[in-house]
Structure 1
Amino acid sequence: MSWMEELYQVYERHQDRIGYEKTHDAILLPIYHSTANAQVEVTIDAEGNFRSAKTVDKEDAVTIIPVTMDSAARSSGIAPHPLCDKLIYIAGDYQNYIDSKKDLRPYHELYMEQLDQWVQSPYSTPKVFAIYNYLKKACLIRELITEGVFQVDDRGKLLPKEKIQGISQEDVFIRFQVMDNSLEQRTWLDRDLYENYIRFVESSDSEKQLCYVTGEMAYCTEKHPGKIRNTGDKARLISGNDESGFTYRGRFREKGSVSSVGYGVSEKAHDALKWLIARQGWHRDSLTIVCWENHLASLPSLLADTGNFFAAFAGEDEEEQYPNTGEAFARQLNLAMNGYRSRLATDSRIIVMGLDSAVSGKGRLAITLYREIQGSRFLDHLEGWHQDMAWYGFFRGKPAVFAPSPERIAAAVYGTEQGTFLKAKDDIIKATVDRLLPCMIDGRPIPRDMVRQAVAKASRPQAYEQHYNWRETLFIACSLVKKEMIEQKGVCPMSLDRNCTDRSYLYGRLLAVADVAERSGSESGNERQTNAKRYMSAFSARPFSTWKIIEERLQPYLEKLNPGLRTTYEKLINEIFDKFTLENYSIDQSLDGNYLLGYHTQSNAIYQKKEGEEQ
C-alpha cells in the first residue's frame, strides 16, 4: 500500500493548508469532512433564533460539511450528515409542505438523534448547540416561505417545478451561519468546528484493529471515500461487496482479512489525493493522471508541450519563450530544468499516479499507473524526453522548437480534421497517454506503430483542407521519427545534414527542393498544392518511379524562374543526386520516416536562406 502511505504523508505534512486557500480553488479537506453544493444559506443567532435566509450563488456554493462513514457513502436509505444537509433531513416541518403519502419523518428524527449525540458530547460547540436548538422548533420551511426563499401553491405546498440553482425546492441543500462572538460565523469555514467534530468522531469506543498502512492499532473502516476525481465521482479505490457465492474469490472469509485500514488514515490519504487531483490533475474521459513531489515542490507539467513550462523561467523575453533553433531550445530546456532541480530537497521523490474506471464515475477505480521516482531522475527522464522529441513547429501561433504534448500527438496521429483543428476522441487520447507515459517517465522506447501511423498521415497532405493542419501533422511525425532515430542510432540532428547519405533522407531532400521550386515558379503562389505534395504518398511508397513524374512536371515551373534561381535549384538537386549510390537511388522500395526529416530540414534551410537574403 505504498500509494496510500505516500498520500497519508502528504496530508500529514500539509495540515496547515486544511480548508480554503485564497490562492487556489482546490480544498484540502479536514478528515471526516466532505463537500456539498449548498443552494440555501440560513442565518441564526447564538440562541437558535432565525435571523435571515438567502439563496447561494453557484460560485459560492461549495460547502465543507462534516460527514459520517455512512452518510459519505449514501446512495439510498437514511444516512444523515451530522450538521448541514438536505431539506428532508433538517426540516422538522418537511412532511407538512410536501405531497407525499410516504412517512418522511424518520429522516429528520434520525438526523436530530445523531445531532443530539454531538451536542451532548464534550466536543460540541456553541454553533452546533445553536443549530440544534433552532431545528428543534421544526419551523424551517415555514420561515423560508415567509422569507421569500421558497414558493408554494394555493394549498401551501412547495412547488415541485420551482428550482433554486437548478435544484428542486424540496431537494435543496441547507448550510448555516451562526451570529455569535467568534471570528468566523460561517460554519463551513470554522476551523474550531472542524477540530471538534474530528475529536468527536475519534472519541468512539469502537474496537481497534491493526492498520496495514501505519502498522498501528486504530479504529478501522470498510467504507472508503468517493468523489476522488471530481465531486460527482462515485467510483472508489477500495471497496468490497463480494459477500455471497464465491466470497472474496475463495481466498478470505471476511473483508478485514483482505486489508484493514484506519478510518482516519483512509480519510487523510483520500483527502490528499482529491486535493492533489484538484490542484494539478490531468483528466480525459475516465482517466486521471496526477503527478506530485513529496514536499510539493513545483514541477513541470508532465503532459504539456515544452513551451508551457518555459514561460515560468523565460520572463517576457520572446526569444526564450519561443526558441527557434535546436541550440536555443537546448539552452532554454536546460535552464528550465535546472530551475526545477534547484527546488528539490535531497530526499525528493516524484510520484506519478494514473486512475481509471471501466464505467465513468461508477464502480471500482483502478490504479492503472503508479511510479515513485527519485526527483532528479524524474527530471532527467523528462528533460531527455523533451530534448529527443523537440522539432520545428508552431506554439501559440508562433514558430518555435518544442516537444509536443501527448494530447497533441494523439490528435495528429489518430484524430481527424474537424473544421480548423485536428481532434481525437477522448478514448483515443486516453489510450495514447497510457502508452506514452512509460516512455516519458521510465525511458521506454516510443511505440513503433505510432511512428509508422504518424509518417503515413504526414505523407498525405492532400487529405487536409487546411494546410496548417497538415503542417501540424508533419511536425508531430518528425518529432516521433527523431525520437525513434535517437533510440536506434543515438543521434538525430535537427538542422540540415548535407553529408547524410541515407536513402530516405536524400529522397526527402529531393522532394523538398521540388516543392519549393514549383511554388516559386507558380503564378498562383501558395494557393495551389504542388505536384510534390500531391504525389507525396505515392512518393513515399515508390520513390524512384514517382520522382520521375515529379521531376518531369517540375520543368515548366523551373523555366518560369529567373536564370539565377533556376540554376540554384538545379544545382541543389544535382548535389543531392551525388550523395546517392546507383543502387540506393534506383531501388523502388518504400521510404522510412527519415524522408520526412530530410524533407523538413531541406525546406527550412531553403526558406531560411531566402529570409536571410531578403534582409
Structure 2
Amino acid sequence: MSWLLELYRTYEANSDDIGEVQKRFNGTEYTLLPTGHTTQNAHIEVNITKDGEWHSARVIPKDEANTTIPTTEDSASRSGKKVAPYPLHDKLSYVAGDFSEYEGNAKAEQFDKYITNLETWKDSPHGHWKIKSIYNYLRNERLITDLVEENILFLDSDGKLLNKWDSEKGEKPEIFKVLVGEPESLFVKFNVHSPNEILTPVWQDKDVFTSFINFYKDQLLDDDYCYILGEILPKTERHANKIRHAADKAKLISDNDTSGFTYRGRFEKSFEAASISYEASQKAHNALKWLIRKQGKTIDGRVFLVWENSGQEVIEPSADSYDVFHSDSIPDKTTFTNTEFAHAFSKAIDGYKSNLEHGRNINIMVMDSATTGRLAVLYYRIMDVDSYLERIKTWHSSCIWLHMYKRDGNKNRISYLGAPSARDIAFAAYGPEVNDQVTKGLVERMLPCVVDGRRIPRDVIRSAFYRASNPVGMEKWEWEKTLSITCSLINKEEGYSVRLDETNQDRDYLFGRLLAAADVLERRALSNEEQRATNAIRLMNSFSKHPERTWKTIQESIQPYQAKLGKKANDLNKLIDDIGSQIDIKDFNNKPLSGKYLLGFYSQRYELYQKKSQNPEEEMINE
C-alpha cells in the first residue's frame, strides 16, 4: 500500500491548495478536495438571502457545472432505489419539499431524510450560518414553485414538470439544454446572497468545508488499526469513485463481493484482511483525483501519472526530448555529437534538479479498469529524485537521433535531437491510424525502458524497422517521421553516433550509406517540379532483404542520371565507389540487412544535404 501512503503525504504537503479552484493549460478546472467532499455537475444555482428567503436562480452553463459538494459514505455510494441524500447540494427530488405536488411520485422520503440531516448539521456545534439560511428556506417546501415562477422550470398542461420542450413553442429555454432524462435528476446547488457584501460561494467557502468535516467526523464510529498510517482511527469500508473523471464509477478499493469468496473462508468481515481509516482513504483518493486532473495523461481510459509529493513539476518519462528541453538548449546540429548532446541534456537536468528538494520521491503510476466498477493499479514505481533523473538522462542521451517532423495535427514542424515520445514510438511501430487501445499498451510497455533501464521490446523495434524500410506505402512526411524514430530505437541498442561515421566498417552501415548516395544523386538530377520517389527509395524494402541483388538494379537505374549530371555528379560517383570499396567482398551478398543500415542511410543523406544546403532539414523533408 505504499502508493496510498505516498498519496496521503502528497495531500498533506499540498494542504494550502485544498478547496482552491485551479486551471490546467487547456482550461480544465481541478480542485484538491477537502475530506468528506466530492464533485458533481450541477444544473441549477439557487440563491438564498441571509434571512432564508428566496432571492434568485439561474441555469448553470456547462463550463461552470463542476461543483465541490459535501458527501457522506452512504451518499457517495448510493445507487438504485437507495435513499441516501448528499448533506447540502443534491438532486431536485431530494431538495424540493414540494416535488410530489408536481410529479405525483412518492419522493417524500428523499426530502424528509435530506432535511432532517441538514437540520442536524445546522444545529450541531460545528454548524455554519450559511447552512442555517439554506435550511430556513428549504423547510418551507416551495423550491419548485419558486423555480417555475422564475422561469427556470416549466409545467405542462396537467401542471406537471415539463421534461421535453416542444420546438413549436419557440426558442428552447436554457434548462432543456442541460437536462438529460427526467426533471428529478436535475442537480441543484445553493448559495447565500447579500446585497451589502460579496460572499464566497458556498461550494468554495473553506469555513463551510471545515464545518462539515468536523460535523461528519463526529458521526464516524468503529475505530480500528489503519494499515496506511499505523494509527488507531475511525475506519471505512466504502472508498471513493470518480477517480479518473466525474462520471467514473470504478473504485480502486472495493470489498462488497461477499458471495464470490474474495475473503470468505479466511475472514468473516472484509476489514479483517486490511483496515483503512476514513481519513487516509479520503486524503489519498482526493490527492489522486487532484493529480490526475492536474497533470495526468489518459489514453483510452488508462491513466499515466507521475508526481512528486510536494507538487513540483516532474519530467514525464513518456515525453520526447523536445518537451523536456526545447531546441534552444541543443547544440548546433551541424556539428552535433552524442557527447555534446549528453552534456547539454545533463546541464538541463541539473538545472531542473535544483528546483527539487534532495531526498524527495518520484511516483509513477498506471491505472486502468477492466469493468465499470473496478479500477486497478497496473504499474507503480517509487524512486528517489536523483535516481529518477539519472534514468531520464540516460534514456534521452542514448535513445538519440535527429528528428524533423510535424506535430499538433501535422501543422507545426519541429527539429530536435534526442529521444522520441512514447506516443511517437507507437506512431512509428504501428502507423498514424493506430488506435488508443494499442497506444496505451505501448506507452505502458515503454515505461520500464525509461525508468528501469530495460531493453526496448524487440517486436516494437522490428515493427518500426519494417515500416521504415517500406517508404512507398507511406506519405513523405509519415515516412520521414517513422525513419528518424526508428533510428532512435535502433541506436538505443547499437550506441552509434548520430553524426556520420566514415570510419565505420560495418557491412549494414555501409550498405545504408550506398543507398543514401544513390538517392541523393537521382534527386539532384530531377527537376524541382518532379517530386516522385527515387529508385533508391522505391526499392528500399527489397534492398533491405536482398542488398546485393537490389543494388545491381539501383546501380543500373541511376546511370541515366549520372550521365545527365555529368561533372556535377563527380563527388557522388566518387563517394559511391569509395563506400563500395570498403565492403568486404565476402560481405557483399544477399544476407538481409539489420537496422544499422537505416542509421548509415540517414546519417549519410543528412551529411550530403548539409554540404549542399544551409538548411538540410528542409532539403530532406521537401525533397
Structure 2 unpaired stretches of 5+: 166-174, 406-411, 617-623
1:172 aligned to 186, 192, 198, which one? 186
**Do structure 1's residue 49 and structure 2's residue 53 form an aligned pair?**
yes
> C-alpha displacement at 1:450, in angstroms?
1.0
Match of 1:132? 135
Give 4+ residue runs of structure 1 displaced > 3 Å after superposition.
Answer: 21-24, 162-165, 180-185, 317-332, 523-526
1:287 aligned to 295, 302, 326, which one? 302
Q: Secondary structure at the match of 1:397?
A: strand
Match of 1:80? 85
> C-alpha displacement at 1:323, in angstroms?
9.5
TM-score by length of 2: 0.91
> C-alpha displacement at 1:116, in angstroms?
1.9
2:289 aligned to 264, 268, 274, which one? 274
2:273 aligned to 243, 258, 265, which one? 258
1:450 aligned to 437, 460, 478, which one? 460
Whole-Å separation in 2 of the counterparts to 1:247 and 1:30? 32
> Residues 251 and 373 of structure 2 are in contact (CA less than 8 Å); yes or no, is this contact kept in structure 1?
yes
Moved more, 236-245 or 588-597: 236-245
Whole-Å separation in 1 of the counterparts to 2:309 and 2:245? 22
> C-alpha displacement at 1:68, in angstroms?
0.5
**Do structure 1's residue 153 and structure 2's residue 156 form an aligned pair?**
yes
1:480 aligned to 482, 485, 489, which one? 489
Percent of aligned pairs with the same amino acid: 40
> Residues 310 and 321 of structure 1 are in contact (CA less than 8 Å); yes or no, is this contact kept in structure 2?
no
Change (3 A) 1:591 1:280: same
Match of 1:504? 508
Give deviations 1:293-330, integer Å, cap 9, x for gaps: 1222222233222111314xx7xx59779999346644
Match of 2:621? none
Whole-Å separation in 2 of the counterparts to 1:323 and 1:278? 41
Q: Secondary structure at the match of 1:19?
A: coil
**Do structure 1's residue 560 and structure 2's residue 594 form an aligned pair?**
no
Give deviations 1:138-171, integer Å, cap 9, x for gaps: 1000000101111211222111114444224432
Match of 2:421? 405
Match of 2:345? 333
**Do structure 1's residue 348 and structure 2's residue 360 form an aligned pair?**
yes
1:541 aligned to 541, 545, 563, which one? 545
Change (3 A) 1:23 1:335: farther
> C-alpha displacement at 1:397, in angstroms?
0.4
> C-alpha displacement at 1:447, in angstroms?
1.0
> C-alpha displacement at 1:110, in angstroms?
1.2
> Residues 543 and 590 of structure 1 are in contact (CA less than 8 Å); yes or no, is this contact kept in structure 2?
yes
Moved more, 205-214 or 22-31: 22-31
Q: Secondary structure at the match of 2:73?
A: coil
Give deviations 1:174-211, integer Å, cap 9, x for gaps: 11111358863411011111001000111126121111
Q: Secondary structure at the match of 1:513?
A: helix
Task: Spell out the pairing of 1:196-207 with structure 2 (5 A cutoff).
Answer: 196-204=211-219, 206-207=221-222
> C-alpha displacement at 1:123, in angstroms?
1.1
> C-alpha displacement at 1:109, in angstroms?
1.1
Give deviations 1:251-283, integer Å, cap 9, x for gaps: 322201121111111000000011011111011
- The one-letter code sitting in structure 1 at the alignment partner of 2:251 is R
- The one-letter code sitting in structure 1 at the alignment partner of 2:349 is M
Give deviations 1:105-149, integer Å, cap 9, x for gaps: 111111112112212211111111111111111100000010111
Task: Spell out the pairing of 1:107-122 with structure 2 (5 A cutoff).
Answer: 107-122=110-125
Whole-Å separation in 2 of the counterparts to 1:333 and 1:86? 54
Task: Spell out the pairing of 1:369-384 with structure 2 (5 A cutoff).
Answer: 369-384=379-394
> Residues 324 and 401 of structure 1 are in contact (CA less than 8 Å); yes or no, is this contact kept in structure 2?
no
Give deviations 1:375-417, integer Å, cap 9, x for gaps: 01101101111111221112540332232110111022112xx
> Residues 289 and 354 of structure 1 are in contact (CA less than 8 Å); yes or no, is this contact kept in structure 2?
yes
Whole-Å separation in 2 of the counterparts to 1:269 and 1:22? 19
> Residues 519 and 525 of structure 1 are in contact (CA less than 8 Å); yes or no, is this contact kept in structure 2?
no
Q: Secondary structure at the match of 2:298?
A: strand
Change (3 A) 1:208 1:500: same
Whole-Å separation in 1 of the counterparts to 2:333 and 2:579? 32
1:386 aligned to 396, 406, 412, which one? 396
Moved more, 544-553 or 14-23: 14-23
> Residues 39 and 164 of structure 1 are in contact (CA less than 8 Å); yes or no, is this contact kept in structure 2?
no
Moved more, 183-192 or 30-39: 183-192
Structure 1 unpaired stretches of 5+: 416-421, 487-491
> Residues 389 and 482 of structure 1 are in contact (CA less than 8 Å); yes or no, is this contact kept in structure 2?
yes
> C-alpha displacement at 1:471, in angstroms?
0.6
Whole-Å separation in 1 of the counterparts to 2:454 and 2:373? 32
**Do structure 1's residue 435 and structure 2's residue 445 form an aligned pair?**
yes
Whole-Å separation in 2 of the counterparts to 1:345 and 1:67? 36
- The one-letter code sitting in structure 2 at the alignment partner of 1:103 is A
Q: Secondary structure at the match of 1:159?
A: coil
> C-alpha displacement at 1:440, in angstroms?
0.6
Q: Secondary structure at the match of 2:243?
A: coil
> Residues 88 and 94 of structure 1 are in contact (CA less than 8 Å); yes or no, is this contact kept in structure 2?
yes
> Residues 366 and 378 of structure 2 are in contact (CA less than 8 Å); yes or no, is this contact kept in structure 1?
yes
Moved more, 513-522 or 332-341: 332-341
Match of 2:620? none
> C-alpha displacement at 1:342, in angstroms?
0.7
Task: Spell out the pairing of 1:167-246 with structure 2 (5 A cutoff).
Answer: 167-168=179-180, 169-179=183-193, 184-204=199-219, 206-244=221-259, 246=261
2:497 aligned to 493, 497, 512, which one? 493
Task: Spell out the pairing of 1:88-99 with structure 2 (5 A cutoff).
Answer: 88-98=93-103
Match of 1:418? none
- The one-letter code sitting in structure 1 at the alignment partner of 2:291 is L
Whole-Å separation in 2 of the counterparts to 1:74 and 1:457? 51
Whole-Å separation in 1 of the counterparts to 2:360 and 2:429? 36
Change (3 A) 1:612 1:136: closer
Give deviations 1:39-86, integer Å, cap 9, x for gaps: 111111112110111111222211111001011122222111000111
TM-score by length of 1: 0.92
> Residues 92 and 138 of structure 1 are in contact (CA less than 8 Å); yes or no, is this contact kept in structure 2?
yes
Q: Secondary structure at the match of 2:558?
A: helix
- The one-letter code sitting in structure 1 at the alignment partner of 2:281 is S
CA RMSD in angstroms comes to 2.1
- The one-letter code sitting in structure 1 at the alignment partner of 2:36 is Y
> C-alpha displacement at 1:525, in angstroms?
5.5
> Residues 55 and 164 of structure 1 are in contact (CA less than 8 Å); yes or no, is this contact kept in structure 2?
no
Whole-Å separation in 2 of the counterparts to 1:318 and 1:186? 46
- The one-letter code sitting in structure 2 at the alignment partner of 1:484 is E
> Residues 518 and 554 of structure 2 are in contact (CA less than 8 Å); yes or no, is this contact kept in structure 1?
yes
Task: Spell out the pairing of 1:411-426 with structure 2 (5 A cutoff).
Answer: 411-415=427-431, 422-426=432-436
Matched positions, count = 593
